Chain A
């Protein structure tokens, strides 16, 4: 399988887009991340990540839904592509595989030992 190139923040954004399903656009993604992780992030960082993911073809976007809250401007909705789905699964499986291989030695510090 080809190497999947997915940064930590990208992975986060991709996951959130998947969670939000039909309602994933800049603001909603940002708010969801802020709510779920309690990280403070700037909207431009979200845009940037969304654009990168789209150029990697993990996301696709369409424009629509002008509303008053946006001064009459349209939203750009993102949905996860098949490749995006595969990438998420791959990353997840890889993580899991790695986690399972951690020997069960308790250093007293290793929080993963409990898993």
Chain B
């Protein structure tokens, strides 16, 4: 019949299938079909289809809609209740194993929880800024952080893609005077008035558009306002900075912690001329740009080469001596350009460009790896113990199977059990994590609070993690245990309960490998740190005290210096514009030849006592003298510079800064480490500073006074401080000893070392827990064997060795895996240091193996001896 060739609308059938109770569906469908075919004949196909759909919709009544009982049969819920009950009973019965399982897992989860907190926080940096996806930092070249003053404004004028720009400089410290009270505050910046259009700032008081338009204006954060003006309205108040009055034109909410740009206060630039001054080769500002929606950073970057040729080129060739920029490029000069870095990448991917935040994508990776490994060890424990215990459960499994359990149901049962353990571990891990939160904050250099730990977001992630761990760690035992043959299980064949011995041993060996690897890393990191601490820098850093901010002494500088020289403990003093271990900037110099070559040299202005104060060794020529007027254009270089310049005879050669500024090299000092030992000694040029602290062009630069101190340091510091306080009112006394200052350069590495110590300790602790339980289990199963051996004449020593040697093999296997991996990874890490320890020291690798072996022996040996000393009759008398 032709009418049966038609089909009713699919959607209606699908909908019916979706909602309808299965046992009624057939009848409803049948009636609907019958009507449909009849209507095809009488009403036509279209009407029949429409009516079919309508009928199906009319059947959508509570009576016919699937209920819970149709999705899951009620029986399953009852079974799950039973699984839960059995799980609790078996956990309680095997208290020892349960405690080890749960405590190991909760330690691992706690570590993961803390690390998860850290990683989530790292990845959230700067996301709170509106339009963060459109904000870019303009880098000088590929990653130079400082850019020319007019770059931002000119780019905005020339490129339609750029919506807004802002320049920042900082961070710096500033001393404020409020009603004769002095406050020294850090994290200060200067910014253009467009600041609030790039960054999201919440103004509590003041007009965002007007706040930074006038010179001598300042925006302060709410917390700084509360500190400077307690119980007062801060808005509109005046502050005194270095004799100038500055008006508070805005009070803003404190920026959140997760930003690369954390400020305490923001000042307007002194005046417009100051910031537009500076040619295109003077890089002093950070420039941020917000692109218009839809514009890509690549399209802006593509325009920069032409931009550079137009604006930067003419300024550049003034110093290089070329006729124009094209010639400069043709003769092999380095092309200048600018690139755009997304603001949200600054914290993790360009930490040197971040304004104060300390992030590193490598830390994120390392922390993740550590978390993963620790959790892996804990999960391995879990799997091992569950399979090892299977002998005790084999009868239960057999009985369940005989009574009609399907394999799937048994798998469910064991998964419920592992989930239960994981959930208990999760609750414990929250407690453990809050105990160690402070320690972790130090380790990660962050400030997490308990409320961060208990935030819904964190907890839901933890729950997700727990479910995954419970499922993964529980699935192997579940599938393994549920696979028992019921008959053999009920007969109590001991073999069946042994589990996959090979797999279990492999997992234990893997745990050892992770532990050994982590100890190797710890040892290498600390050896390197000690090596750097002991390294001869070329001077005595512990003898050099640097007094900061000597610029504020002004006319009293001479008096202060004279007063210091009276002190018998102070041998020598000299004034500098920077100090070693702190940031020293590089300046461009060119040689005076037919084909001038350009060099970028680290530039330090010092008075002539510097050689003596620092105890530097002169290799060639002489040091400049402040007494000789003719020495004003004399410079001293270090050996690295000499090597870079590659003259046969370096003394007497001239270097130029362009515009007729020429300097004659009159001496060479032996290389000394004036910066982090991560870098080798870079070319340095020492230039003369006048006794009154003036540098070239009468600029004042004498901001740091280096003192060579012998004898009693504490007393000397007190002397210097009282001398300072007598002369200076507005600036607190601030000083540093160079050895401390150098040490602080390795803060990151020290944290790294602590992280490895903590994680290797944790890894070993968890692995030992597992090992302890596993050994207990093994001995329990071999009790009769050991008793028989003893009866046949084996000594306690023989028996102990028998068990211990089993585990020692696993340590050896672990070592074989861990040593090459550790060597490879730590070699990579050491490559970031210019001065490094010799990693081919076998002690670095053998010691961790021995440590782990000893820990394993102690863990296993104690129990083995106990078992071996037992009375064999007790083990053998019952069968």
Contact = CB atoms under 8 A, between A and B. Distances in A.
Contact of A42 (B28, B38, B55, B63): B55
Nearest to B36: A71
Contacts of B61: 44, 48
B237 to A, nearest CB: 78
Given A42-B55, A44-B55, A69 B33 contact: yes
Contact of A75 (B1, B27, B32, B63): B27
Contacts of A42: 55, 58
Contacts of B55: 42-44
A56 interface: no
Contact of A63 (B4, B27, B29): B27
B31 A26 contact: yes
A73 B33 contact: yes
Contact of A70 (B1, B30, B63): B30
Q: Is the interface of B mostly helix, strand, loop or mixed?
A: helix
A15 to B, nearest CB: 20
B272 interface: no
B59 interface: yes
B35 interface: yes
Nearest to A61: B27
B37 interface: yes
A45 B59 CA distance: 8
A71 B36 CA distance: 10
Contact of A27 (B4, B34, B63): B34
Contact of B30 (A45, A48, A71): A71
A54 to B, nearest CB: 12
A110 to B, nearest CB: 38
Interface string A1-25: 0000000000000000000000001
A60 interface: no
A32 interface: no
Given A27-B35, A44-B59, A75 B4 contact: no
A66 B26 CA distance: 10
A48 B59 CA distance: 9
Interface string B58-79: 1101010000000000000000
A71 B33 contact: yes
Place the interface of chain B in its size category: 10 to 19
Interface in B381-432: none
Contact of A73 (B26, B35, B38, B59): B26
A74 B53 CA distance: 20
A70 B33 contact: yes
Contacts of A26: 27, 31
Chain A contact-residue range equals 20 to 34
A69 B37 CA distance: 7
A82 to B, nearest CB: 24
A73 B4 CA distance: 13
Contacts of B35: 27, 43
Contacts of A47: 27-28, 31, 59
A75 B58 contact: no
Contacts of A69: 4, 33-34, 37-38
Contacts of B28: 47
Contacts of A68: 1, 4
A46 to B, nearest CB: 9
B58 A73 contact: no
A52 B299 CA distance: 73
A44 B58 contact: yes
Nearest to A75: B30
Contacts of B30: 66, 70-71, 73-75
A70 B28 CA distance: 10
Contacts of A76: 27
Nearest to B55: A43
Contacts of B34: 27, 69-70
B719 to A, nearest CB: 102
A27 B245 CA distance: 96
Interface string A61-93: 001001011110111100000000000000000
A47 to B, nearest CB: 7
Contacts of A45: 58
Interface in B689-715: none
A47 B4 CA distance: 24
Nearest to B57: A44
B7 to A, nearest CB: 9
A47 B55 CA distance: 11
Contact of B32 (A25, A43, A51): A43
A68 B28 CA distance: 15
A68 B13 CA distance: 18
A26 B38 CA distance: 14
18 contacts: A26-B27, A27-B35, A42-B55, A42-B58, A44-B55, A45-B58, A47-B31, A47-B59, A63-B26, A68-B1, A69-B4, A70-B29, A70-B30, A70-B31, A70-B33, A71-B33, A73-B27, A74-B30
> Which 5 residue pairs spanning A and B have beta carbons closest together?
A73-B30, A44-B58, A70-B30, A71-B33, A26-B31
Interface of B: 1, 4, 26-35, 37-38, 55, 58-59, 61, 63
Interface of A: 25-27, 42-45, 47-48, 51, 63, 66, 68-71, 73-76
Given A63-B27, A71-B4, A71-B30, 19 more contacts: A26-B31, A27-B31, A42-B55, A42-B58, A43-B31, A44-B59, A47-B27, A47-B59, A48-B61, A51-B63, A68-B1, A68-B4, A70-B29, A70-B33, A70-B34, A71-B29, A73-B27, A73-B33, A75-B30
